[in-house]
Amino acid sequence: MTNYDIEMWRYGKELKIRRPEPMLDFDHVKSKSAILQNVEIRLNEHGLRGGPLSALPPGGRRILFLGASITFGWGVPEQDTVEAKLETMLSAIDKQPVQVLNAGVGNYNTERYISRFFDELTDLHPTDIVVHYCLRDAEDLPAGGGNFLLQHSELAVTLWGAYHRVFEKTGEQSMVQYYRDVYQPNSPGMIKMKEKLKQLSDYAKAHGIRIYLAMTPITYNLVDYKFDFAHDIMRQVSAEYGYIYCDQLSTMKGIPSKDIWAMPTDPHPNALGHRLMAEAILPTLSQSGDASINK
């Protein structure tokens, strides 16, 4: 079986590059591809997942997804990602041409993916921006070069992964408490996340861009889900900053982990998970002509 830790290490080695800005830390390389976790990953000239970007026809709609590894579609073929699914769905019902772009980057949080948008993606001139938000996106991620052995040794990565799975306290209750702490109003990650969401909201209002926050559930236990508190908080944050809110838990709740994980050691949503996320987001995007954030 493919080793999740090794494949993530290869992702960092083959498709990422260090950035001098501490806030970003690293970024996708441009115009490169690799086979990771048995899936072809293509990065185009903008570092977005997918092929070369075509010009947007007059009157067309360009929807840009910002997010981390779930948005990126780790472990999922390109045509099965939430972005590709939505482009197909929207093209079938919208009267104008539609492009749905995948700007997800693995191991990013809200601070990083919004900073990356302002640093290098504003020239894409999206008509809509979807913050494809995950529970982890309020975590405070320190910048830095990391451990040299983890960067350069597959054996070290394997041992590191085994150690943390066996010895760390990873029970569900400790995870719930961890995220309750993360979502405290005065936590560093929470403060940075809200600052970036406000910055993006201000930019969108100034440029006539529709913005959305699509809340993605964590997939560890969708049968007895214990993270509704974070969804409630992000619904309030969305309302505060003028985001159109959409919750993907509605289509995913109750599904056993074995049916929705990319593989037994990888909790990223598989193709089924991406289809369900697309089905949850579709009504919000298809009705957006009647809803505006520029009020």
- pLDDT per position as a tens digit, 215-241: 999 998 999 999 999 999 999 999 999
- Report pTM: 0.93
Residue-level pLDDT at 12: 93
Cβ-contact 159, 111 below 8 angstroms: no
Strand positions, DSSP E, the chain: 16-18, 26-28, 32-36, 39-43, 61-66, 98-102, 128-134, 210-216, 244-247, 261-263, 266-269
Whole-angstrom Cα distance, residue 111 to residue 154? 29
Predicted local confidence at residue 292, as pLDDT? 39
**pLDDT tens digits, one per residue of 133-164:** 999 999 998 876 556 566 667 777 777 667 66
**Tokens at residue 214, please?**
């699509």
- Main-chain dihedrals φ then ψ at residue 34, nearest 5 degrees: -160, 155
Output the pLDDT for position 265: 83
C-alpha 102, offset from chain centre: 9
In this prediction, residue 294 carries a pLDDT of 36
pLDDT at 264: 87
Q: What's the average model confidence in pLDDT over 28-40?
A: 96
The number of CA neighbours under 13 Å toward the Cβ of 289 is 9
End-to-end CA, the chain: 52
Enter the tokens of residue 77.
Answer: 């073929």
173 is written with which tokens?
């209750």
By residue count, the chain amounts to 295
pLDDT at 121 over 80: yes
pLDDT higher than 60, residue 74: yes
**In sequence order, which residues have a C-beta less than 8 Å from that of residue 106 and are 6 or more positions away?**
8, 11, 68, 69, 72, 74
pLDDT of 112 higher than 80 = yes
> At 11, is the pLDDT very low, low, confident or very high (cuts 50, 70, 90)?
very high
CB proximity list for 162: less than 8 A, separation 6 or greater: none
Q: What is the pLDDT of residue 172?
A: 75
Residue 53, CA distances (Å) to 49, 103, 161, 163 in order: 10, 12, 37, 42
SS3 212: strand
